[in-house]
Homo-oligomer: A and B are copies of this chain.
Amino acid sequence: MKVQADLSKLSIRRAVKADLPRLLELIADDDLGKNREGVGSDEACYVEAFDRISADSNQFLMVAEMDGRIIAMQQVTFIPGLSRKGATRAMIESVRVDGYLRGQGIGHWFIQQAVQLARERGCKLVQLTSDKKRIQAHRFYGSMGFVASHEGFKLQLEN
């Protein structure tokens, strides 16, 4: 059984382009992600995507570091809206924690950092979707107060 990590050793910051190789490692190191990425073979698409994220002030691509190494990432998108009295919502995507460090409370701490950022930006709602195959993740989000109130629909486009 793994023990709780020493969370005082963790820090967060916004990702910079030099982090990209490590971010792609985290994205590919995932049961569902490993078949849909071509890391290394086609890097221009990732660099362009990083630039699109950086150019959008409503995106915050967040990394967590421990001992100078990136051990987690997530993307927070701020979505202004009219409903709920003009509420801005925060959407969390692409949550990844280093496989060697799972089960130590890091994911919980990291999502809390996104929630704190959402509060600071005045959001009234934080939302995310999680593949129905990720049963463990659902228990995890439930334990943090997230409610599975919605169906998450996806439509793949052939461009």
Contacts and interface: CB of A to CB of B under 8 A. Distances in A.
Interface residues of A, number: 66
Contacts of A115: 155, 157
Task: State the main secondary structure of chain A at its contact with B.
Answer: mixed
Interface string A44-72: 01101110110010110100000000000
A14 to B, nearest CB: 14
A94 B85 contact: no
A100 to B, nearest CB: 20
Interface of A: 23-24, 27, 33, 36-38, 42, 45-46, 48-50, 52-53, 56, 58-59, 61, 75, 77, 79-88, 91, 93-94, 115, 118-119, 122-132, 138, 141-142, 144-157, 159
16 contacts: A36-B84, A42-B85, A46-B85, A48-B86, A49-B81, A61-B82, A75-B81, A75-B82, A77-B79, A119-B159, A127-B153, A129-B129, A129-B151, A132-B151, A148-B153, A151-B151
